[in-house]
Chain A
Amino acid sequence: MIQTPSVDWYAITPELILLGTGAVCLLAAVLMPSGARRPFCALVAAAGFVAAGIVAAFLFNDSENAKTIVHEAAYRDQWAAIAQILIAGCGLLAVGLSYAHGMRRTRVGEFYALLLTAAAGMTFMVAAGNLMTLFLGLEWFSICLYVLCAMDLDRPDSLEAGLKYLIVGSFGSAVLLFGSALVYGSTQEIGFENIAAATAAKGLSSDALLVAGLAMIIAGLGFKSSAAPFHMWTPDVYQGAPTPVTAFMSAATKIAALVATLRILTIAFPQLDSLWTIAIAVIACISLAVGNFGALVQSNVKRLLAYSSISQAGFMLIPISANSALGGRALLYYLAVYSAMSIGAFAVIAARERELNRDVTVTDMTGMLWERPLLGVSMLVFMLGFAGLPLTGGFFAKFYAFAAAYQTGWWWLMLVGVAATVVSLYYYLAVIRAMWGSPAELQFAGAATGGSPPRDILLQASVVGALAFTIGSFFFVQPIIDVARDATSALPF
């Protein structure tokens, strides 16, 4: 008789809901008539994300005292719950903007099933309590994303993106796995808390194996959050993948990877914090440099946003390196706002792609502010938000990140962040500049003028939702920060 641990089913309900609705979508792909497949699957997916988000919210409410579940394999705490809510929100927006995406009918069911499953993997990973579940969660959602990236089989770019992501992503996973093995070899433990305890008990804080393992775990997670120098896949994959997928993974993957990063670093490696804070800070600086300078020369908007997401990862690593409760709050706030802006921006690009029926360059955005006011103004707000200008949550995100760095006493990191912000203005404003171009330039650029774009209510609803959150998070900082404060209290600061 195999002894099985007791399972807290309530705590893993979000994952189960997402998996269950994913299964329903798969069944629908076979059983539903092809005409009804798309609305049905989208509805199921949306319902799944909403339900998962609501359950996660209840979990958040009921998990004030953090505890481990399933024999210390996972955590049931507010830190995980808040990340699950965010991931579910990203999924919901992604459903909205993928609905009218030009997919073959035969693939619709699989698309939504994979989207739900990927989200399930992410919600699992953010709760991970040992190295095994961390790796499982990471591979779980990564494999789904590899397939999602290659979903547009008719476009060579999409296939290329899938393959590249697969190869580089697998390498990243392998690094994470190798690092986990080294940590296990050094401490004989896989549970995060046990690793910390063993490190303290055996005096391993300068053990070469452990340090190497830590470095490889950081690197492995860095691949997923597309922090430089682990970012090589990002521009190609973001550009090649179907835009709704890019939108989803730019936001949700970062949430999963960064939330897990802060958890493992603070819970498992508190004795090594002088090492990992500096390592994360250096990675942040490299990401800021690579992302910003890379973005300066891009003409393809998706590629530009890919580099921008590398630089945003750099900004989000700043609060992690601060290693403080304020840093935790800053990270959550930043992630929430960044996700809304990123999905919103990619949604606008998706709309433009559908309108022009080709890849969108910066000049293709010409005239959007006048011809497509809703999308144009939203894009304007998202760009200002990325640049950290006020009246968007992006401002408070940067403010909190810098404040966390300052509180830790890292002036230089704050200066690097500021310098990066100034550089980033150039390319974010380039998009805005293109959008207000005059009709004459429009003709010249060969972009669509006049007429009305294909009506796409769901995409517009997603954009409006992202816009509302981007602006609302600026005016209602305190409620979000309060929630983030509760969540952060689950981590040992």
Chain B
Amino acid sequence: MTTLLIFLPIAAALVLWVVPIPGRTAASLALLTALVEVAIWILALQRFDFDKAGLQFSDQTDWSTDLGVSYHVGMYGFSVWLVGLTVVVGAASVAYGFWAGRERARAYFGLALFLTGSIVGVFTAQDLLLFYVFFETMLIPLYVLIGVWGGPGRLGATIQFVIYTVAGSLLMLIAIIALGVGQGTFDLTAIRPSDNHVIFLGFVAAFAVKAPLFPFHGWLPPAYREAPAEVSAVLSGVVSKVAAYGFLRIAIPVFPGPTKDLQWLLLTMGAVTLIYGSLVAFRAPDVRGVIAYSSMAQMGLITLGLFALNDPGLTGSVLQMVTHGLISASLFLLAGMVERRTSTGDFAFLGGMAKGRPVLATLFMTAGIIALAVPGSSMFAGEFLVVLGVFKVGWGWAVVGAFAIVLAAMYALRLISAVLHRERGSAVSDSALDLRPGEAAIVVPLLACLIALSVWPAAITERSFFGDSAKADVQTRYGAAAHYTVPIAIASRASTYNVTNTQIAVGTGRAAVSRRSTRGGG
């Protein structure tokens, strides 16, 4: 099943590249494959036994017995959700490409499918070298997608993006070699915990660049701005989660000692990323800038949750990964739709798009409201759990986390207001129509998933860690309570008592936005 999920899109990609078919057919075929992929995932979700410990749907084949490398894939509870995120966002992205009618369709859709397949591979790989292989393979389609179909500044963006990420991941390769050759196996389920801080830092380097965490985010603004909207959606929605997954699946369970020793470092990086990203998002001059930096900030928050090293932190992070993946993907897709109507993402030329465009306004508003973590939303549930987790480590971290919720409200409201409200921007003409049904059909499913998760966050929080090795490691090594899952009751109770706090947040945000909008406006 896992192998099918990885190789179905890759096989479809090969077919698209090799068989000469007309562009429109290729696009339809790609969309069909992406939807079938979602269907397979739903089937896998049904069959996945969340009450069973350990790896499921696993496949293992020897690859190089010489050094103990094997093709070993399988899923844990949290992997299921991340794979789901990948296939759903991947399908939305292909659908967007279909609607936007990308040139050189065979190459384009082949790459998009190939990307989906390799990301699923990353989330399911249970062998260090296989993980690395997918981690790097992911880069190739991204590089070409941004480089060929990206905006005017794409060349610089791709060079920066590739060299940053490869530099990081090569450090990880060193770490993998050191760990695997030293132990004689690369199998994650067989590898013994290591106490080597240097090796740990090698992994951290790769994930910190990929996330990105401050100060390794240099590649982020150009890449997110220059990529086609749907590629940005995958990049910020899914690819950044690969880093968080790496922390969760490799860095924390394999390096318990170094994790504990360097917890302060990772927490600090997460906190700085969170604050820095939020502040820059608030000041960013364009739609994509806001989403890009807010996505960076959310990665900081997720890192905070992960390195709280307790159950609320970890489960909250997983929930947050999925939620943020969906929300940033829908925001980027909406941004793309706005940009196609106005040919700009610059706030100076935008505004007033809500009038006469009810569908756009509704969808954009919904996405924005969830992004600012309004109580009751899944974003809020995730953030609350993360803050709860880090509170147990030290109240200072929780203050940072809570402060970030305030900042999130500020930038999200600014984004909504700058696009939808205020007086009409110079780039917004009457010919900029409302979203067509086809476009709405791309974003609505993403938002529907988000709303479903808002109603029932426990779908993920109770089904991520049950009796897993990752969880067991964390439990035994950090002394967290056994089988601690966060019932929805806590999340909802939390939302009632935290509500005043958030209201203040919302209030501040609105004040800030209105001040800015009266000053700006043109």
Contacts and interface: CB of A to CB of B under 8 A. Distances in A.
Question: Which label, helix, strand, loop or mixed, suits the secondary structure of the B interface?
Answer: helix
B432 interface: no
Contacts of B359: none
A325 B63 CA distance: 20
Contacts of A433: 147, 155, 158
Contacts of A391: 133, 137, 140
A105 B179 CA distance: 58
Interface string A466-493: 0000000000011001100100000000
Contacts of A485: 66
Contacts of B272: none
Interface stretch (A338-346, A394-402, A456-464): A394-402
B144 A425 contact: no
Interface string B169-180: 011011001100
B148 A436 contact: yes
A200 B174 CA distance: 37
A403 B177 contact: yes
B67 interface: yes
B177 A399 contact: yes
A174 to B, nearest CB: 40
B29 interface: no
B32 interface: no
How many B residues touch the partner, as a band?
35 or more
A389 B139 contact: yes
B173 A402 contact: yes
Interface stretch (A133-141, A161-169, A414-422): A414-422
A396 B176 CA distance: 13
A429 interface: yes
Contact of A421 (B62, B104, B107, B166): B166
A389 B174 contact: no
Contacts of B64: 396, 477-478, 481
A463 to B, nearest CB: 16
A425 B159 CA distance: 9
Interface residues of A, number: 32
A370 B148 CA distance: 11
A399 B173 contact: yes
A425 B181 contact: no
Contacts of A482: 66
B137 A402 contact: no
Contacts of A395: 133, 136
Contacts of B171: 418
A403 B174 contact: no
B435 to A, nearest CB: 30
B163 A406 contact: no
Contacts of A39: none
A171 interface: no
A329 B66 contact: yes
Contacts of B518: none
A426 interface: yes
Given A429-B162, A436-B148, A418 B170 contact: yes
B360 interface: no
B500 interface: no
A24 to B, nearest CB: 40
Contacts of A229: none
A412 to B, nearest CB: 11
Contacts of B140: 384, 389, 391
A206 interface: no
Q: Please give me the 4 A-B residue pairs with the lowest Cβ-Cβ distance, nearest first.
A: A390-B133, A418-B170, A477-B64, A390-B136
11 contacts: A329-B66, A399-B177, A400-B67, A418-B174, A426-B163, A429-B159, A436-B147, A478-B62, A478-B63, A478-B65, A482-B66
Interface of B: 17, 62-67, 69, 104, 107, 129, 132-134, 136-137, 139-140, 143-144, 147-148, 155, 158-159, 162-163, 166-167, 170-171, 173-174, 177-178, 181
Interface of A: 329, 369-370, 377, 384, 389-391, 395-396, 399-400, 402-403, 406-407, 414-415, 418, 421-422, 425-426, 429, 432-433, 436, 477-478, 481-482, 485
Given A429-B159, A436-B148, 4 more contacts: A384-B140, A400-B67, A403-B67, A481-B64
